[in-house]
Amino acid sequence: MDGEYLSNTLRLEREQGWTGLLVEPDMDNYKQLLKTNRKAWTSPTCLALKDYPETVISPNFDSETTVLSCRKNAIIHNTRRPNPLRSTTPPTAQCVPARSLFLALNVSHVDFFSLDIEMTEEAVLKVFPYQDVTVDVWAIEHRVPGFVVVDVEKLHRSSNYTLVEMEQQGFPPEDIIHRQRLVSAFEDKNFIQFMINKGYYYLDATCTYVGDFMFVRKESEIYKSMETETVSMYVPHKAVCEVTFSTTTCQ
């Protein structure tokens, strides 16, 4: 976005002296990004979903405004209204493969990669050059496509309990089934397994409607330095969200 709002890397830059690459295809956001004087390379492009450059039309374009109403971590409904100030010409963006960006910077190792590109993360990851660029830690926003059913009443009634506690304390069967569906939706097993197969350890996830997943490369120094107790907390094939469930405010 603008390089500061909801940034996962700004603190690393300001407090730890890190630098890196910021990729933002929206030109309005990119102009704001340049004004923040981030100590990083910037690129007004998007990450390609294929292994070659392409020009794409914004998939979210329309001539109306979409207003999302959210309560806790659930998107309750959205309304659409005409926006006379919005252009009727669809914006385009130049997308380039991640490989091209790293080659241009002569970078073959990345300490931390924050990937949040609105439901296309998995497609980018499938064409990422893992053999040429090593990434030690990924923070990836991801959710199961198509999941929209959220019963807010059941969500809040059980939000302070883990799935095991709900079963032990005799919660209604429909509440337990609802929680099981949420766990399945929040924690995409196929997506997690994909990253495990690429040599990563599944460390953690925020168990919300749109979750953030953390993966650590098993051959990295940071993984080798992790405490044994920390590593043993999470088993790759066990749902983290069955243990740590959250209803944080949606953003």
| pLDDT for position 63 | 42
| Residue 1 scores a pLDDT above 80 | no
| pLDDT for position 61 | 47
What band does 171 get if pLDDT is binned at 50, 70 and 90?
confident
* CA–CA separation, 71 and 73 (whole Å): 6
In tens, the pLDDT along 7-16 reads 888 888 989 9
Cβ neighbours of residue 197 under 8 Å, at least 6 residues apart? Answer: none
Burial class (CB in 10 A: 0-12, 13-18, 19+), 97: buried
Domain count, the chain: 1
Q: Within a domain: residue 233?
A: yes
In tens, the pLDDT along 36-65 reads 889 999 999 999 999 899 888 765 544 443
Q: Are 65 and 39 in contact (CB under 8 A)?
A: no
The dihedral sign for the CA sequence 239, 244, 245, 251: negative
| pLDDT for position 225 | 86
In tens, the pLDDT along 97-149 reads 999 999 999 999 999 999 988 778 889 999 999 999 999 999 998 877 666 55
Q: Which domain holds residue 105?
A: 98-242
Torsion of CA 194, 244, 229, 226, to 10 degrees: 50
Q: Are 4 and 10 in contact (CB under 8 A)?
A: yes
Q: Within a domain: residue 72?
A: no
Q: Within a domain: residue 210?
A: yes
Q: Within a domain: residue 7?
A: no
| Residue 234 scores a pLDDT above 60 | no
Q: Within a domain: residue 75?
A: no
| pLDDT for position 230 | 57
pTM exceeding 0.75? no
* CA–CA separation, 183 and 71 (whole Å): 19
Q: Within a domain: residue 43?
A: no
Between 165 and 216, name the one with better pLDDT.
216
Q: Within a domain: residue 229?
A: yes
What band does 162 get if pLDDT is binned at 50, 70 and 90?
confident
| pLDDT for position 184 | 73
| Residue 239 scores a pLDDT above 90 | no
Q: Within a domain: residue 83?
A: no
